[in-house]
């Protein structure tokens, strides 16, 4: 049995001190939003408690689906790199970026360079190359193939949308088909929910239809995402059957906010191609904020 943990929307805080030059951009709205709203509920101790509980479950692998930072400043990006090293070795953790990781132009490139060991695929160069087309990526671990996608782009003020393009869709379908031929359980990691209506218009993923078509062509067994800060289960339907699409609350969300408190998913994968078993548990911070407890359990796939 293979145990896969999933966390998202880490939003490492607190915010660093920013210069006037850094604030003279879209960052000014994020800065104000943090201090007016998020700072009250995005608590670093919450993230520590969540990770400590996750480690007790001894997952074989950890999937992180984006938004490690808030405003994508250099200090935040480097701090996130340090946090990833504390979380564990790069061969046991996969990261895909979110919209906050590309908050302003050129931030995405800086983040991917700093986190490269955690975002690159098994077959990618060991040294970051600016011109290298990173996404989609694939990592094979035991019976599982993890396919990483990026919807991370810099967007205008008051926008948090993502983009999934035609080239990435074609290459993702090819990787999925190849992993299926190898008899692997295929997990797709993406930040924005690839489900119509799952996010508001200014936060949606552009390319949902392309994503669904790639899944239909290549086949998949599980899709993981973040972005909405909600605990969700949706399904994609195609000729291969139905594919569970699972979202998760922000890993730093304390109790008492509008969004559910911090949580992580834990999946137990067993079986073989055509007869997979997928057990899902969600572990979340309790309303008092003093413990992480099992909050949901369900069998998503069974032979």
pLDDT of 160 reads 81
pLDDT of 266 reads 98
pLDDT of 22 reads 57
Using a pLDDT cut of 70, give the percent of the chain over it: 88
pLDDT of 31 reads 45
Q: What is the DSSP letter of 236?
A: E
pLDDT means per 10 residues in the chain (303 residues)? Answer: 97 64 56 54 78 97 96 89 97 96 86 95 81 85 98 81 96 98 98 95 94 97 98 92 96 90 98 95 93 97 91
pLDDT of 77 reads 94
Q: Is 271 helix (H, G, I), strand (E, B) or coil?
A: strand
pLDDT of 134 reads 85
pLDDT of 16 reads 56
* Domains of the chain, first to last: 2-301 (3.60.21.10)
């Amino acid at each position: 049995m293979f145990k896969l943990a999933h966390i998202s929307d880490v939003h490492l805080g607190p915010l660093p001190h920013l210069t006037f030059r850094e604030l003279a951009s879209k960052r000014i709205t994020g800065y104000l939003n943090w201090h007016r709203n998020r700072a009250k509920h995005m608590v670093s101790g919450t993230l520590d408690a969540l990770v400590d509980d996750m480690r007790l479950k001894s997952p074989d692998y950890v999937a992180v689906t984006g938004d490690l930072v808030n405003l994508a400043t250099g200090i935040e990006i480097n701090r996130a790199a340090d946090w990833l090293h504390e979380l564990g070795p790069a061969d046991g953790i996969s990261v895909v970026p979110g919209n906050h990781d590309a908050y302003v132009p050129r931030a995405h490139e800086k983040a991917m360079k700093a986190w490269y060991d955690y975002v690159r695929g098994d077959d990618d160069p060991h040294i970051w190359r600016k011109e290298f087309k990173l996404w989609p990526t694939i990592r094979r671990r035991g019976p599982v193939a993890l396919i990483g996608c990026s919807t991370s782009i810099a967007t205008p003020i008051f926008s948090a949308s993502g983009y999934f393009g035609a080239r990435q869709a074609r290459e993702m379908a090819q990787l999925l088909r190849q992993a299926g031929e190898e008899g692997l359980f295929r997990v797709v990691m993406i930040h924005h929910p690839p489900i119509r209506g799952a996010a508001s218009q200014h936060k949606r993923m552009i390319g949902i239809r392309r994503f669904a078509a790639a899944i239909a062509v290549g086949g998949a067994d599980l899709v993981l995402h973040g972005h909405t800060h909600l605990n969700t289960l949706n399904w994609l339907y195609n000729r291969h059957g139905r594919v569970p699409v699972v979202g998760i609350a922000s890993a730093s969300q304390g109790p008492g906010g509008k969004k559910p408190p911090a949580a992580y998913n834990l999946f137990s994968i067993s079986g073989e191609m055509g007869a997979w078993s997928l057990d899902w548990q969600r572990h979340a911070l309790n309303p008092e904020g003093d413990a992480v407890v099992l909050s949901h359990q369900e069998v998503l796939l069974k032979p």
